Structure 1
Amino acid sequence: MIIGPGKSGKTALAAFLEGGGPDIRRVQNMVYRKNTLDTPGAYLESPWMHHHLIAAAQDASCVVMTVDAAGKRWVYPPGFAKAFRVTVIGVVTRCDLPEADIQEARQQLRRAGITPPFYEISIYDKEGLERLRDVLAPYRPKALQPEK
């Protein structure tokens, strides 16, 4: 499950994890794909929608909480990651932009209750994306993992 503020790269990350190219179409509802659950930023940005995210996480094997390094909004309530019963992984997106403040993004993740390591990615940095995919691999459902 991928959550984060609007325009933080959640859908592009989900498309990469699904094996496709970036999908720039914004989602207005939760989108269940083979390996990912993509959530709209509005669910996080509206406090009265938080319970929908918490309920949807019951179907997830892990939660990826994203923060836009170039964004200036703090959208996660303090300790929000503690509401989930699965592993929560912190990801800083859009690290390649000149206005990116990676230290502030990391602080947002800490405030949300996530412990490091945090993964810094850009949709243009395939190495960082591959590293994140490797971190997420153990959380894929067994039926979807490639045979060895």
Structure 2
Amino acid sequence: MNDLTHLNAKGEANMVDVSAKEITARTAWAEAFITMSEKTLSLIKSGEHAKGDVFAVARIAGIQAAKKCSDLIPLCHPLMLSKVQVDFEIDSENNRVRIITMCRLAGQTGVEMEALTAASVTALTLFDMCKAVDPAMEIGGIKVLEKQGGKSGHWTRG
């Protein structure tokens, strides 16, 4: 018995057939963190970064990334997302930004990969926009926080 759904009986890569699954409302939340110098965080918070509003650009990049997830992850289904949200929480005490993403749709498969992709690309965009000032930034803590819908129902990270 093979528990990995992306492998067929022969062990070959396989896109899961979701055609028999019920259409349900599905939502997933993910997060990522980017840690930076105090100076870099100050530039972002004050809006004085030479590249302008880095949060606005990173938010758009995250939304676009969620929409392109199936182009990036080989066995992901192309999904008709109904909502993608990217939010930021500034943690001045730890010189980092928490990125929280949410993806939603009514469909036959979950949106965890889209939420993770949005969080990842948002963090990468912040890095790209700030690397000239702070090449030592670190990205980490990328994970699914919660998901709702589908056969497995509601799951929250413990």
TM over 0.5: no
Higher relative contact order, structure no. (Cα contacts within 8 Å, ≥ 6 residues apart): 2
Shorter-chain TM-score bucket reads: under 0.3
Bigger proportion of residues as helix: 1
Kindly name which structure, 1 or 2, has the bigger radius of gyration based on alpha carbons.
Answer: 2
Structure with the bigger percentage of strand = 2
